[in-house]
Structure 1
Amino acid sequence: MEKLKFEFVVKAGEDPKTNVCCMTSITNADKNIFLIPEKLQPVRLHEMIIKTPAYEKVKLTLQRRHDKRQVWISMTPEQLEVYMDEDGNMQFQGYLLEEITVRPQLQASAAGISEEALAKILENFADKKRDIFKHQNVKKQTERMVLDKFTNKTTNASQWLTTFETECRRVGIEEDIPKIEALRLFLEDSCLDWYRSMIIKFTVDSEWSQWKKMFCETYADKGWSPVRYAMFFRYRQGSLLEYAIKKERLLLEINKRMDKSTLIDLIAIGLPIFVADRLDREDLKETEDLFNSLRGLEHLVSKKIWEKNSVGLENKTKEKNGKDYHPCRICEKENKGNRYHPESLCWFKNKNNDGPKREQIRSVNHSELEVELNEIDPKN
């Protein structure tokens, strides 16, 4: 019975959060290695292999992403037909597999080295190359992270850092150095000065746990102002839904482990009483239920604003038409006809007031001048 060696690797699936076991290559008895194209690598396509006892052991062994194992499997004639045609060519689903050829220079340099040692050297070289590739693509990986940048205004530093670590794992940044490099891309304002100071003190090659400890000690907010602001945040004007979404964010920023019922209660307390009384508390199991209910009550605040604006517009119209005013008495005295406007705004009132002031000033000045002239000795 002929044997083939299969290599299995755990890779990221179409959803970056999921892992998929893939078959990457096949080695025959003559040590020739054949690569399987990426679209044919998922093991779910290799039904003959996943039924074997050897694959069951592989499945139990591979637990984390990037883990890999190579196993020999004895092939039955039916299984061998799947991976080898009648001419001895390696294939899968009609696709001829590409064979890896070792360069003669490498074969000559490997003289005297055991096959196992050579495989280990090649594996280490591939790992180093993969690490270099990861470091070069940290910026591209961070572009996939869903996270706001950290500033001095961020309320909960430890919670933000936990979210940062979660996003790093999701995009494949798991080692300390790439994680420290990625942190710089999510800092703003004076936080960048803190990062530069850390680089001087500890360098990029330090441990992530040390950076995490220093970050939390520096930016942990031990005061009550963020909690007070989130708890007492109330609806003032505008959309009810926008208020509810913002208050939910403020509450989760101070404590993301807050239970749903408490979260709903705190949001509802900040609503106007005539709106909150329209909500059935027993029907609100999720915050989304509260949001949907508030969308249906938007007309209450819109109607109130419309009525208020309507009253104001009606008063302005009355003022403009002069219906709430008597004819201006100042205009009557000046024989300007019946004019409807407030007497305090009458133009003739201001004009008439200016005249007496000027006359009074003029007379006072004449009196002062006359007194001074009388006191002067005529002989002088």
Structure 2
Amino acid sequence: MEKLRFEFVVKSGEDPKTNVICMASITDADKRVFLIPEKLQPVRLHDTILATQGFQKVRNTLQRRHDKRQVWISVTPEISESYMDEDGNMQFQGYLLEEITPETREQTPAAGISGETLTKILENISGIKDVSKPQNIRSLTEKFVIEKFGRKTSNVCQWIVTFETECTRLGIDEDSKRIEALRLFLEDSCLDWYSSMLIKYTVNSEWSMWTKIFCETYADKGWSPIRYAMSFRYIQGSLLEYALKKERLLLEINKTMDKPTLIDLIATGLPNFVADKIDRKNLKAAEDLFNNLRGLEHLVGKKIPEKKIVVFENKTKEKNEKYRPCRICEKENKTNRYHPESLCWFRNKNSDGIKRDQIRTVNNSQLETELNEIDPKN
């Protein structure tokens, strides 16, 4: 006997607080699926199905909203009349049911989710992206965890390795895409180098060639970065900030440096009175040193009182003048008088006398002139 598989789903009724059992689809023996329109889905409209034993089991099984079950039911004359026409087409109440094909299944929402949305969800869960879609390099590079390359970068080879690691992490594997992304992480005169490389080799060249030329151009073959990192010492400020900066400088020149050597080089740049308070045996990693330094910040946090600069003036001359007899007084036969000559009373008296004499002389001359001009007859 021919059978049909009916799918039942519990949905909300006209009142959102009530649940209604609905018939969602019908599948025939050839596995062809036919959808029932939403307005014809309530099971109360399907009288011939309500009377079957299969539906009674489904009713007892479905308890909560969104529960669904599929059950095979034998095709009786009543069921055949309700769901099949004379030509064998699937129908219900004169409405021809739509058959679901592989093409229409991708466009048909499943449980309220479109096929495109479902694809995006699966991509996010699995981490697999459609390689056929073009990648936006600028949006991808915003997720890079790397600083830009410039004149202050000391180890070019180490930087380019970190850049390649970030490209691999974000799925930028093509050589042309990596070359395009490199431009966004260059600054200063490095941009001129990039423009020259584009003119000579274009963006479609090999990435390995770009990395080789990049390292050969900017590799620092001198000792300046190493000398600066090794001799970097604490001067003032926070102990932790000093330690973090020196760790960065040391790792930039040698990323594979072992932990004990790294700790020793950081500690040797500390003041002796600070380093002597740290037990070297308990330091297993640089973080242990940082933790100790945070507890010793009070040693360098105290304000050192400013030293007052005392200017010692040469008072020998003044002392000699103070305890030497005044020569002006000696001329006036006033001996054993000790005071500065600038304050001598006789000096001031003599200067006043000179001024008075000059004034008297000028006055007599003027008077004589006036007398000579007067007519003696008068």
Structure with the largest fraction of helix = 1
Output the TM-score relative to the length of structure 2. 0.49
Output the TM-score relative to the length of structure 1. 0.49
Q: Rg: which structure is higher? A: 2
